[in-house]
């Protein structure tokens, strides 16, 4: 199912197994966040050729259809299909008698400690995000962000919460849990893995501007170090979900009224 035993050391991989592992990583990234990173870079260049970034707006959760029920269907389909790469990596990391969930710490085995660390990380990231965003806007390096532009229906807030959880699971499982494990199998050192993970995280946020790219790079360094110390992806998923839920739902409820995003 996977190309090499999860406990295999880099030195024990023959050239063919190493090539297969590299191809697997490239395919997974090409189907998920690596692809998003390429598109984000192109979108940033396109935006820079149109007008100053500070004069443009980026909407994170836009309306997908004018008809409410079809909008709901498209929103849910988007969330579902965007999580398929997560299913793929969990499939690839699973071996007989060895759970992919346990290997990357994506379990509920330590709820109190995971939630406590998740809340702490969310607090740090939340404050840092606001600071980086404000700085980016002041320097003209960041577009105005609209975290949620969905019309107000009974399903709006649940969909925004699901969207936040989708981003948290997709990013942390792939760019941290999966990538750390596979690059370690290739013999990479911890600093190189953390740096690579942070750079990938930064790349797929560049469509929002240079500021969010820098902010997410710093977030990637922090999350990478936290994963290195705990070997658990669950606290990162919790932290990421809390930050996004606060941003998406908070904006939907209060943002337009107080002018956030301008």
Q: What is the mean pLDDT of residues 160-166?
A: 97
Average pLDDT for residues 127-141, to the nearest whole number? 90
Is the pLDDT score of 125 beyond 50?
Answer: yes
Report which of residues 261 and 88 the model is more confident about.
Answer: 88
| Tens-digit pLDDT profile for residues 215-238 | 999 999 999 999 999 999 999 999
Which carries the bigger pLDDT value, residue 212 or residue 8?
A: 212
Percent of the chain scoring above 90 in pLDDT: 80
pLDDT for residue 3 is more than 70: no
Burial class (CB in 10 A: 0-12, 13-18, 19+), 88: middle
Q: What's the mean pLDDT in 179-208?
A: 97
**Res. 167: pLDDT tops 80:** yes
Cα distance between the two ends of the chain: 49
pLDDT one-digit tens code per residue, 10-20? 557 888 999 99
What is the pLDDT confidence band of residue 257, given thresholds at 50, 70 and 90? very low
Q: Write out pLDDT tens, residues 15-47.
A: 899 999 999 999 999 999 999 999 999 999 999
pLDDT of 151: 80
Angle at 112 between CA 106 and CA 118, to 5 degrees: 60
Distance (Å, whole) CA 249 – CA 163: 10
Q: Is the pLDDT reported for residue 9 higher than 60?
A: no
Report for 3-7, 202-206, 249-253: range of highest mean pLDDT:
202-206
Find where tokens 């739902």 sit: 249
- pLDDT at position 253: 79
Mean pLDDT of the chain: 91
Contact 101, 217 (CB under 8 A): no
Q: What is the mean pLDDT of residues 192-197?
A: 98
Judge whether residue 103 has pLDDT over 70: yes
Supply the pLDDT for residue 255. 65
């Amino acid at each position: 199912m996977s190309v090499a035993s999860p406990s295999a050391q880099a030195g024990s991989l023959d050239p063919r197994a190493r090539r297969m592992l590299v191809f697997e990583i490239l395919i997974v990234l090409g189907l998920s966040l690596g692809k998003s990173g390429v598109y984000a870079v192109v979108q940033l260049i396109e935006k820079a050729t149109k007008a100053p970034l500070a004069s443009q707006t980026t909407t994170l959760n836009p309306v997908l259809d004018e008809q409410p029920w079809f909008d709901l269907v498209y929103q849910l389909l988007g969330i579902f299909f965007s999580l398929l790469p997560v299913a793929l990596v969990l499939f690839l990391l699973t071996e007989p008698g060895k759970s992919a969930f346990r290997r990357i710490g994506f379990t509920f085995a330590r709820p109190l400690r995971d939630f406590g660390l998740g809340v702490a990380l969310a607090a740090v990231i939340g404050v840092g995000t606001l600071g980086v965003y404000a700085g980016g806007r002041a320097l003209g390096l960041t577009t105005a962000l609209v975290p949620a532009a969905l019309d107000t229906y009974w399903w709006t807030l649940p969909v925004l919460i699901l969207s936040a959880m989708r981003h948290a699971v997709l990013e942390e499982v792939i760019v941290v849990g999966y990538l750390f494990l596979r690059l370690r199998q290739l013999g990479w050192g911890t600093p190189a893995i953390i740096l690579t993970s942070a750079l990938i995280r930064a790349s797929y946020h560049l469509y929002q501007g240079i500021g969010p790219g820098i902010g997410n790079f710093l977030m990637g360094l922090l999350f990478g170090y936290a994963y290195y110390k705990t070997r658990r992806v669950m606290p990162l998923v919790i932290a990421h979900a809390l930050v996004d839920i606060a941003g998406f739902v908070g904006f939907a409820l209060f943002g337009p009224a107080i002018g956030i995003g301008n």
